[in-house]
Amino acid sequence: MEEVDKGHHVHFSEDTDAMGNTLITVKEKQEGREYEAHVGFLQINHRYHIDVTLPVKDASDGYVVGDAPSVYCRGTDLQVTENRELQVSLELLAYKEKLLREKLILLRPAGGLLQLTILARVLGKGKGTPMLRDNIKCIGVEVDDESEASDWQGFS
């Protein structure tokens, strides 16, 4: 009766803290110039407010959000944290299923660019509701034009 099935175990990802909270994972791709933020699972047609903290050395020098290369992701605010890191607040619309990759450009105070790439896995309609990571809030749901709630009557 003490037999244990070793093939079935629950594994938690490495991006949780000691309390079990899920964190946004930030990876530096090019030193001080390009970062990737893995925000986990999101739901299709939902709009999110996301705060990403970047470990840049010159955070207090006055970064500004550049022109938005995408209509689905836009920077809304930049703040310097107590640890002298740069906190980027953004809005993201999960507009397609599977892997979502959106870029945000920040202008450096001394010239040049800093690129932040947001990576998310987007669950389709009816695929469940994801548990959001820390610093991610759902702020709205877009109407699905192809849903049964549409007022389109079809061809007569």
Domains of the chain: 25-141 (2.60.40.10)
Could you give the CA distance from residue 127 to residue 153 in angstroms, rounded to a whole number?
27
Alpha-carbon dihedral angle through residues 99, 113, 79, 104, given to the nearest 10 degrees:
-20
Q: Residue 34: which pLDDT band, with cuts at 50, 70 and 90?
A: very high
pLDDT tens-digit profile of 68-92? 778 999 999 999 989 889 999 999 9
